[in-house]
Amino acid sequence: MKLCELIDEFLIYISGVRDLSENTVLGYKNDLEHLKIFLTPELDISTVTKENLKLCIGQLSKNHSSNASINRFIAAVRSLFAYAYKFGYLKENPALELKTVKLPKKVPRFMTSAEVETLCNQPEKNELLWASRDHALFEMLYSSGCRVSEITELCLSDFLNGYDRAVVTGKGDKQRIVYFSDEAKTALKAYLADRKKVLQENGTLGTTDRIFISQKGQPLSVRGVRYIISRYSGAEGTNHHVNPHAFRHTFATTMIGNGADVRLVQEMLGHSSISTTQRYTHVTTEKLIEIYNKAHPHG
């Protein structure tokens, strides 16, 4: 079997049989494109060796790819050849002993309470796009700790007890309940009135249950949310650029910093591992040390 044929079959398998998300499949596809470039698409997979794959990894390093990108590539290659071995296309798995590279520990980027308040108020003070929608979007991201994909997929039917909380579907199709602050609920109610008008004007009322829509009445995409945040945190807004995940980081840091149990925060964030949530305890400690050093006379 040719490498290009194996990759095509594998992508169909993870999409149709394993039912992985569109973004996940696209990620695999992009990483395996590198493999085709390094080894050539027509290569017979039975001739691929561990040394060939290590050379591919070395080439990524020479191209100044980040360690995270290299590890993602390794994971994709491992999965591809595990698939080939499982279904009898190979007698041995050449990717079995590939090792990932060590990643530097990164402190999650989060906003201070003043920064997040300023950003949340930007839509009403600086009407760049759709003020009521964008204000509600920011407040809901901050108060719930949702991933951007979870917010874009949130529907009217997902809410419980008015707008106090909602059921969201996270990674691995795992569902959890998230909660919204009074500020978020007030902003959401104001936006929903405008949302109805936009849907009526576009003749799309009743065509979508998604909460957040574009000004054309279509469901807002993850890319759309990124664009909105970049506008308000860019030169036209706060001039202090943040990415959408900063709202989630800020939620977690604020909760743990104010004494919330890390296990409860884990549940609210939808983390499968407690170690992922515990990053925020380190962030909080580092922030306290920084404040101490600045405030104490002998700091």
Crossing angle for the helix pair 131-144 and 182-201, nearest 10 degrees?
A: 140
| 176 is a catalytic site residue | no
Q: Which of 185, 195, 248, 249 is catalytic?
A: 248
| 271 is a catalytic site residue | yes
| 280 is a catalytic site residue | yes
Q: Which amino acid is at 108?
A: P
Residue 100, phi then psi, degrees to nearest 5: -75, 160
| 279 is a catalytic site residue | no
Q: Which of 34, 133, 135, 147 is catalytic?
A: 147
Q: Which of 133, 195, 271, 279 is catalytic?
A: 271
CB-based burial, 273-288: b 16+ in 10 Å, e otherwise:
eeeebebbeebbeeee
| 13 is a catalytic site residue | no
Residue pointed to by tokens 């990164």: 106
User: What Cα–Cα distance (Å) separates residue 219 from each residue in 46, 116, 135, 144, 222?
Assistant: 45, 25, 17, 20, 10
| 248 is a catalytic site residue | yes
Residue pointed to by tokens 């060939």: 52
Q: Which of 72, 210, 245, 287 is catalytic?
A: 245
Half-sphere exposure of 216 (CA within 13 A, CB side): 5
Q: Which of 86, 109, 171, 241 is catalytic?
A: 171
Write out the catalytic residue numbers: 147, 171, 245, 248, 271, 280
